[in-house]
Amino acid sequence: MRQENRPMYSVIIPTYNEASKPEEMKDHLESIDEYFKGLGQTREIVIVLDGPNDGTQDLVKNCTKNIENVKIIDRAQNMGKGYTLREGLLAAEGQVRLFTDMDGATPINMLDRFIPKFQDGFDIVVGSRDLEESKVKVHQPKWKELFGDLGNVLIQAGTGLWGVKDTQCGFKAFTEQAVKDIFPRTTVNRWGIDFELLMIGKKLGYKIEFVPVDWVDKGESLVGVGGFGYLSTLKDLFNVRWNLIRGVYKLNKKVSELKNRDKQEKLNHKEANNNSIK
């Protein structure tokens, strides 16, 4: 896509097994289309299929056949939310890149609250369900909320995101530069991507703002879930903390330097293998 034809906004939607929710998918995608028509801004929708095995691919194609500027990344292997978001956000072309869930738990019109923050110079704007003005219209079961609160305390302690009470809301937006600087550094392939990217963004000095959103619990998200969501997130938190201690994120280097380093490491590895064969 040529520079002058790039959209102002990209909406990235990680998608796993959603075939049981055809009406929700259709309504959410149509609401995104109508929202940006009303906004008068160019946009693209990037749907990243995380290896669904229930026919979601056909449903997505059917629901988007009358919607313009939709990019579908159809990956056969299930890799998880983090991998899927990284793939979609880096493949997107918008100047502002938002990710949201396919079930539409947070309606697209919440972007109205994000846009002024970008105009004020913020680089990352995050939807939160735990601010005073937030409206949680349908709550999760009490036990899930309890686990969520406990997990959040551990996340704040492990990442240094003190005072951030909701890192996991699936409605976050970034400038293009923030995406290109943060996401190549991320390592988490599943649930912990949300707090990992916020931690990296904060430590790189990006301006982050948290905005109240409306939210409706629509059941367990299906991106890469295997029944062990909480244990998986706890494991991700441990790995993120360990990566931070070991300096894996190379927070003092530019992304271009990281890419050159990775390229050189691959060349060195290839050369070593060739020498061992000789």
If pLDDT is split at 50, 70 and 90, which confidence band does 231 have? confident
If pLDDT is split at 50, 70 and 90, which confidence band does 5 have? confident
pLDDT at residue 86, as a whole number: 98
- 227 pLDDT more than 50: no
Q: How far apart are CA 86 and CA 13, in angstroms?
A: 11
Q: For residue 273, report the phi and psi dihedrals to the nearest 5 degrees.
A: -65, -40
88-92, 175-179, 202-206, 262-266: least confidently modelled range: 262-266
pLDDT tens-digit readout, 53-94 = 999 999 999 999 999 999 999 999 999 999 999 999 999 999
pLDDT cut 70: percent of the chain above it: 82
- 118 pLDDT more than 80: yes
Question: What are the residue ranges spanned by the domains of the chain?
Answer: 3-247, 252-278
Q: How far apart are CA 217 and CA 196, in angstroms?
A: 23
Q: Give the residue, 7 or 226, on which the prediction is more confident.
A: 7
Contact 51, 74 (CB under 8 A): no
pLDDT at residue 224, as a whole number: 41
Q: What is the mean pLDDT of residues 215-226?
A: 56
Q: How many helices (H) and strands (E) does the chain have?
A: 9, 9
Q: Give the residue, 32 or 217, on which the prediction is more confident.
A: 32
125 contacts: CB under 8 Å, gap ≥ 6: 114, 117, 118, 172, 173, 174, 208, 209, 210, 211
- 16 pLDDT more than 90: yes
∠ CA 222-90-47 to the nearest 5 degrees? 40
Q: How far apart are CA 18 and CA 104, in angstroms?
A: 12
Dmax (CA) for the chain in angstroms is 67
Options 3.30.70.2740, 3.90.550.10, 1.25.40.10, 2.160.20.60; CATH of 3-247: 3.90.550.10
